[in-house]
A and B are shown apart, each in its own frame.
Chain A
Amino acid sequence: MTSERDTILRVRDLSVDIPVPSGTLHAVRNVDLSAIRGRTLAIVGESGCGKTMTALAVMRLLPGRARLRAREIGLEGTDLRSLSDKAFSAIRGNRMAMIFQDPMTSLNPVYPIGDQLEEIHIRHRGSGRREARERAEYLLARVGIVNPGTRLRQFPHQLSGGLRQRIMIAMALMCDPALIVADEPTTALDVTVQAQVLHLLKDLQAEFDMALILITHDLGIVARIADRIAVMYAGRIVETGSSRQIFAAPTHPYTQGLIDCIPYPGKTERRTALGSIPGIVPSLVGDAPGCMFRNRCAMAEERCRDGGNVERSVEDGHSYRCVHPVERLRGTMVPS
């Protein structure tokens, strides 16, 4: 078991509401999660499931209209909810850092790369320009960029997407954070570069002994990287467990559907259709009792209308939200 000291981030009962003309959009509902030093938590789900909102809520980067509620958001023992914006900004980029989806637009086009890296160190460490530059150069080399000194003087538009994402990673590492939140870090990259960037993240995590939260829609890339997985659907975590538990015994019908969507080179039969989940994500506006997945679920029945959000446990560390007993779920959904 992990000790209290190793729990870098603990979030309990996090909800994010966004007022919209037709009511209130519940982007995130009652999410619990924790990130452990040296471990990777993957938050998986399709677009609009609330995974990015969860990350932005933790970083206090939500859009202005969004309302956040939580019973706890603790980073390294500090209750982040109680901090002023000013005090929070001293932690952001310092003890926790974020890597964004699109490296093409996430860097400021008018400043050289070096300046954008160095300013973090100068802000949080109060270091001088030269010390910050040494740190930036070291990290660029560490993320696999050749000629870091030259690269630091270049501008974002002179670099490829893969290079820019490596720079974003170096940027996140500038102050040696305890937690990195990576929001779809490989989605905008070429497939060939995706694997490199993921491996890099994994290596750096070990080297810097950080907690990593990896947000992705691609369950396929999660298998090799994540220690724990939280599957989100329509604002809720519908299943959570260790990577082994989730892949060996997916319990929620949605998780099973996601796993069926992954092609396995060499295993998936040629010319067979890949699995897909019919239907679309339901509207998140207004109160929605019952299981949000029921309109797309093959097993849906009457009692899914009002039950289904109760958390049930399969075994230690593996829980799901579905009214059906585990045996029935396994028996019906898992292909032979």
Chain B
Amino acid sequence: MGRFFVQRLGVAVLVAITVSIIGFALLRVSGDLAADLAGEDATPAEIAEIAALYGLDRPLHEQYLTWAADALGGDLGQSLFTNEPVMDLILERVGVTILLSVYSLVLALGIAIPLGVLAAIRANTSIDRAALGVAVFGQAIPNFWFGLILIYLFGVLLRWLPISGSSSFAHFILPTVALGTAVMPALMRLTRTGMLEVLEADFIRTARAKGLRPGAVFFKHALRNAVLPVVSLSAVSLGFLLGGSVIVETVFALNGIGLLAYESILRSDFPVVQSILVFVSLAYIVLTLASDLINARLDPRIRLG
């Protein structure tokens, strides 16, 4: 287990460095940042001045090393728009996004796993087809539109829940449903497929031959084998939620990191965009590492080789 962890950690660090370089470079080649900042009517002299001010005239590797050294020291620069430290901007917003993402994933898994198991146990029955219907619904419906419908139903018509802001748990319910519905189907179908495969395995027949109760056969013996890919997909889904809930954050006016990224891109506030890019990448890396560790915990063949 120790060696496994060190290996994975090493890989994670290498990936983090690579991603930060690529992200940095991509942002620089996406356009002339200095020209964007200077505005439409700027003269070449003004653009050059701005480039010099932000160090954009220096060689790319020098810019990167300076930025990376500062970033490691906790200094992500300042927003060009508000002049606040980028670190503060992100920390202020990240809580909302993390809460929303975690709630959404928990909701999605809470539905996906029992429904997937049930669909597999009752494969090709009306229960299975109903589960498939739910999955297709969740996959097909655009989540911003679903969010609007939720707002209309529960916020406007029924007046049960608040529709915007992030000041209480109740505020998170509707956006959580909107996002959870989007990530649930893939998790459910992966659970179902995995269970169907595992239920055919010889060791399931052994478990039945031992006279174990159906609950023990399905949940203890089958699910733990079927759930490994679901863990990996959950990590990816959480990464997606952390970085990709821009539209739902906008619909529900949740002041999260997605909204910040969206605004910053429109304002060419590249230090903020750069930092969010790195933050989301790091989140993916940490989540992948976590899913590897959970899978190793679940499957001794991974941790013991």
The answer for the CA separation of A102 and B212 in the assembled complex, in Å, is: 20
Complex-state Cα separation, A112 to B300, whole angstroms: 9
B188-209 CB contacts (< 8 Å) to partner A:
201-203, 205-209
Contact A123 to B211, CB < 8 A, known contacts A110-B300, A158-B304: yes
Q: Is B213's beta carbon under 8 Å from chain A?
A: yes
* Chain B residues with CB under 8 A of A100: 202, 205-206, 209
Q: Is the CB of B203 within 8 A of A102?
A: no
Chain-B contact segment, one of A27-35, A91-99, A268-276, A306-314: A91-99
Which B residues lie within 8 Å of A109 (CB)?
203, 225, 299-301
A150 to chain B, nearest CB (A): 14
The verdict on A155 contacting B300 (CB below 8 Å), with A102-B202, A107-B203 known, is: yes
- Chain A 101-129 per-residue mask, 1 if CB under 8 angstroms from chain B, else 0: 01001111111100000011001100000
Q: Which residue in chain A gives the minimum CB-CB distance to B303?
A: A155
- Contact A90:B209 (CB < 8 A) given known A105-B201, A106-B202, A155-B300: no
**Set of chain A residues within 8 Å of B209, measured between Cβ atoms:** 59, 61, 92-93, 97-98, 100
From B210, B298, B299, give the contact of A120 (CB < 8 A).
Answer: B210
Closest to A98 in B: B209
| Residue A171 interfacial (CB < 8 Å) | yes
Closest A residue by C-beta to B305: A157
Chain A residues near B207 (CB-CB < 8 A): 108
Interface centre among A102, A110, A111 (most CB of B within 10 A): A110
Report B290-305 residues with CB < 8 Å from chain A CB. Answer: 298-301, 304
B301 touches A105 (CB 8 A): no
Q: Are A92 and B300 in contact (CB under 8 A)?
A: no
Chain A residues whose C-beta falls within 8 Å of the C-beta of B206 in the assembled complex: 100, 106-108, 168, 171
Q: How large is the interface on B (under 10, 10 to 19, 20 to 34, 35 or more residues)?
A: 20 to 34
Tell me, yes or no, whether A89 is within 8 Å of chain B by CB.
Answer: yes
Do the beta carbons of B225 and A110 come within 8 Å of each other? yes
A123 interface neighbour in B202, B212, B221, Cβ under 8 Å? B212
What CA separation (Å) do A263 and B205 show in the bound complex? 34
Q: Complex formed: what's the CA distance from A171 to B203 in Å? A: 13
B224 at interface (Cβ–Cβ under 8 A)? Answer: yes
Closest beta carbon of chain A to B101's beta carbon, Å: 28
A59, A89, A91, A108, most chain B CB atoms within 10 A: A108
- Give chain B residues whose Cβ lies under 8 Å from the Cβ of A106: 202-203, 205-206
Q: How far is the CB of B195 from chain A (nearest CB, A)?
A: 14
Whether B60 is near chain A, meaning CB under 8 Å from some CB there, is no
Evaluate contact between B304 and A105: CB separation under 8 angstroms: no
From B208, B211, B213, B225, A108 is in contact (CB under 8 Å) with B225
Whether the Cβ atoms of B212 and A93 lie closer than 8 Å is: yes
A188-209 vs B, CB cutoff 8 Å, 1 = contact: the mask equals: 0000000000000000000000
Q: Are B210 and A157 in contact (CB under 8 A)?
A: no
Instruction: Report A65 CB to chain B, min CB distance, Å.
Output: 11
- Do the beta carbons of B225 and A90 come within 8 Å of each other? no
- Residue of chain A at shortest CB distance from B198: A108
**A154–chain B nearest beta-carbon distance, Å:** 9
A66 smallest CB distance to B (angstroms): 13
Q: At the interface, yes or no: B91 with Cβ under 8 Å from chain A?
A: no
CA distance A92 to B208 in the complex (A): 8
**A-B complex: 7 closest residue pairs judged by Cβ atoms:** A93-B211, A93-B210, A92-B211, A105-B202, A155-B300, A108-B203, A89-B211
Pull 20 A–B residue pairs with CB atoms less than 8 Å apart, ordered by A. Answer: A61-B205, A90-B211, A91-B211, A98-B209, A100-B209, A102-B202, A105-B203, A106-B205, A107-B203, A107-B206, A108-B206, A108-B221, A109-B203, A109-B301, A110-B300, A110-B301, A119-B210, A119-B216, A123-B212, A168-B206
> Taking beta carbons and an 8 Å cutoff, which residues of B are in contact with A?
201-203, 205-213, 216, 221, 224-225, 298-301, 304
